[in-house]
Chains A and B, each alone.
Chain A
Amino acid sequence: MKKLEVKNVSKSFDGNPVLKDISIELKRGELVCLLGVSGGGKTTLFNIISGLLTPDRGQVLLDGKDITDQPGHISYMLQKDLLLPYRTIEDNAALPLLLKGVKKKEARLQVSPMFSQFGLEGTQKKYPSQLSGGMRQRAALLRTYMFSKDVALLDEPFSALDTITKSSMHKWYLNVMQQIQLSTLFITHDIDEAILISDRIYLLSGSPGEIKGEIIIKEPKPRRDDFNLTAEFLEYKRKILTLL
């Protein structure tokens, strides 16, 4: 079952082609990585999917419905958490509901049971500046989740975190994702990260950006702790490096 589909999308800015004929798809419950170098048009693609940019050609389909050029269907989460510093974590997470016209009290009520699931217990009344980077990313993900309960677009969400926090965030994310049955499209430039968490990886590179290959990671989930030390892992890595 296809959750999200990008069909033959091309985009150029002032005559400079940035994306060329991109077609990718995301199945229900899948985690798909879009792996490529920085500045390779990954973020442009995300803006097209979220409806903030209009593609020159091509379509974006959500559950089979055309949502090209329509913001308000899929939200995203960036490396920058973009939590509003003047709102408590609870009110930040409830923001998508408030935008849809839900009353404040009701919105808080809907958000509150999610805090424990996201490992955010006790942060409801805190302000973003009182939280660590990892916790803030969790809160940002909760906000994304409150907007669209089944698809998440994540643009290098953990790349600003230190290695140890990052690896604990990966475990946390895979766990949460399974619990809430989220389908995820994940942008990253970190090859190890992509192999560790993905079901599938699209390789995006070149100028204009093109899909150079697709790699399926067969390792079952949850992944073993030393997966990144195995021969298979290195084999995937070698394959990706030759394709990019």
Chain B
Amino acid sequence: MLKRNIPSVTAVAALLIIWQSVCSTGLIPSYMLPSPIEVMHAFVSEFPLLLENSAITLQEAFIGLILGVSIGFFAAVLMDSFNVLYKAFYPLLIITQTIPSVAVAPLLVLWFGYEMTPKIVLIIISTFFPVTVGLLDGFRSADKDAIGLLRSMGAKRTQIFRYIKFPSALPQLFSGLRIAAAYSVVGAVISEWLGGFGGLGVYMTRVKKAFAFDKMFAVIFLISAISLALMALVGFAEKKCMPYRNTDKKGENT
């Protein structure tokens, strides 16, 4: 585990060292690019404010993610069960993803106001898609022969779903979830940025107007850290849900 990470850790460390030396030699003035140490200072001094705003952003992200994933799940199950629905809605699904969220967010603010609703709606729009598409592919990848075998044993449709289709789709579900988790934080920040009373996005607009670039960088780092943490959480759940993937392949003689 540690050994595998040596190259990436070294690369990040080297980047930080270059960045710090560029700043401390005065090559780039600090009002344009604050040094990593200044960013650290800003992070520490602003910590209470960041925490307060993170709580709001995370709350939006979680609610949006849970709703988005649930809607995505039901959409996928319905579309898998009824081919008509699949044919009717699959193209629409793709179209929703071609609309940039920065364009939709102001509209959502107009429709739903400055409170939490427009943020959650935007997160739902951007998170349900990877889940639905992942699950649909997963359901379709289920082994036809295995389904036939279960049918010969008198299995009902719900049982075929439970014992074959759903477990076959788990890997795709989790890759969808990982993307959705990252989208949820970014979606929350973007919609706060475009109108709101609190959250990391609102905080960003404030520090940007004050040209406090050190704080700007601090919040950027915080947002990526939160996204990474969420993705790691999904990865952890994935390992727990699919223990058969961690087993070593070793043959035994008959």
Which A residues lie at the B interface, using CB under 8 A? 47, 50-52, 71-76, 78, 80, 82, 84-87, 95-96, 98-100, 119, 126-127, 129-135, 138, 147, 165, 168-169
Q: Is the CB of A72 within 8 A of B249?
A: no
12 more A-B contacts (CB under 8 A) besides A84-B164, A86-B170? A47-B148, A52-B148, A72-B154, A75-B153, A84-B167, A86-B242, A87-B244, A129-B244, A130-B247, A131-B251, A131-B252, A135-B252
Instruction: Write out the residue numbers on chain B whose beta carbons fall within 8 Å of the beta carbon of A130.
Output: 247-250, 252
CB distance from A128 to the nearest CB of B (A): 8
Q: Is the CB of B153 within 8 A of A99?
A: yes
Interchain CA distance A130-B243 in the complex, whole Å: 13
Listed A/B pairs (10) with beta-carbon separation below 8 Å: A71-B153, A75-B152, A78-B145, A80-B145, A82-B146, A95-B150, A127-B244, A130-B247, A130-B250, A131-B251
Q: Is the CB of A99 within 8 A of B152?
A: no
Q: Is the CB of B252 within 8 A of A84?
A: no
CB distance from B227 to the nearest CB of A (A): 29
Which B residues lie at the A interface, using CB under 8 A? 143, 145-146, 148-155, 159, 163-164, 167, 170, 242, 244, 247-254
Secondary structure of the A contact surface, majority rule: loop
Q: With CB as the reference atom, state the residue of chain A lying closest to B249.
A: A129
Q: Is the CB of B146 within 8 A of A84?
A: yes
Q: Is the CB of B249 within 8 A of A132?
A: no
Interchain CA distance A95-B253 in the complex, whole Å: 25
Q: Is the CB of A96 within 8 A of B153?
A: yes
Q: Is the CB of B247 within 8 A of A135?
A: no
Interchain CA distance A73-B143 in the complex, whole Å: 22
Interchain CA distance A100-B146 in the complex, whole Å: 17
Q: Is the CB of A99 within 8 A of B155?
A: yes
Known: A84-B164, A99-B159, A169-B254. A71 touches B152 (CB 8 A): yes
Instruction: Write out the residue numbers on chain A whose beta carbons fall within 8 Å of the beta carbon of B252.
Output: 130-132, 135
Q: Is the CB of A50 within 8 A of B167?
A: no
Q: Is the CB of B249 within 8 A of A75?
A: no
Q: Is the CB of B154 within 8 A of A71?
A: yes
Known: A127-B247, A129-B247, A131-B252. A50 touches B145 (CB 8 A): no
Instruction: Write out the residue numbers on chain B whose beta carbons fall within 8 Å of the beta carbon of A126.
Output: 247
Instruction: Write out the residue numbers on chain A whose beta carbons fall within 8 Å of the beta carbon of B149.
Output: 75-76, 78, 82
Q: Is the CB of A132 within 8 A of B251?
A: yes
Interchain CA distance A158-B164 in the complex, whole Å: 24
**Which of B152, B155, B170, B249 is most buried by chain A, counting CB atoms within 10 A of its CB?**
B152
Q: With CB as the reference atom, state the residue of chain B lying closest to A77.
A: B149
Q: With CB as the reference atom, state the residue of chain B lying closest to A72.
A: B154
